[in-house]
Amino acid sequence: MRWYLALVLAGGCGRLAFDELPPTDAADTPDLCVSDDFEAGAAAWQSVVGSFSISPGAGPDGSAVLRTGVNSKENLVTHPALAGVDAARVEVDFAIDNATTGDFNIYFLPGTLGTREDAYEVGLFPTTGDNPPDEITYIVGGTTSPLVQHPPTIDADTWHHVVVLRRTDGSIRVDLDGAFYMESSPDTTLGPPFTIAVRLYNEGRIDNVNVDCAP
């Protein structure tokens, strides 16, 4: 099941044990506009669609997690600091709880968050799910066009670590669980500024979110 909602991620403490990170295309010091392991709650996070709660001690490293609502299919979360972005490096731990219809998406939405029918999307799906393949796409007027695709490799109910790098030339690189996964060529169909968002469909969890807004 698909629809275009987004959620933005940030974090720092207690990442999964994947030490090799993809290139940041940055100088030396990341400019983290969002960094959150949800130990202090999620006061600044916004549920645009659906609902979420904080579950203490449920993360991959024993930290708290942001968990999307049970029986709430569409769940879109974002943060005020994730608006007005051109390039960005988004890093997050995530788990998809529904093995059949669960989705994990990161969106780069032009303009305001309300225009969700236009976006760049990174979509990751369970191997047993109903939406393969994994892909980087652009969406215009609700019509999705793939830029690059990859056979799904995600296991449901398992923690994974993803890094998504959007460059100023419009290319998007995805690293999954510490290794290169897929990359799209430069594309300028949609222009900045973007709002970053992450979507979890049919229940899921995120933790250790780090977003560099000037990679």
90 domain residue, yes or no: yes
For the record, the structure tokens of 198 come out as 């992450």
91 domain residue, yes or no: yes
pLDDT per residue as tens digits for the range 65-96 = 999 876 667 888 999 999 999 999 999 999 99
Report residue 51's pLDDT band, with 50, 70 and 90 as the boundaries: confident
Sheet containing strand 194-201, edge to edge, reads 46-49, 76-78, 194-201, 103-110, 119-124, 134-140, 143-150
Distance in angstroms (rounded) separating the CA atoms of residues 215 and 108:
15
10 domain residue, yes or no: no
Give whole-number Cα distances, 105 to 17, 20, 88, in Å.
22, 22, 15
Would you mind telling me the total number of residues written for the chain in this entry? 215
Task: Work out how many domains the chain is built from and give that number.
Answer: 1
Give residue 62's domain range. Answer: 32-212
How buried is residue 154: exposed, middle or buried, by Cβ count under 10 Å (0-12/13-18/19+)?
Answer: buried
pTM of the model: 0.85
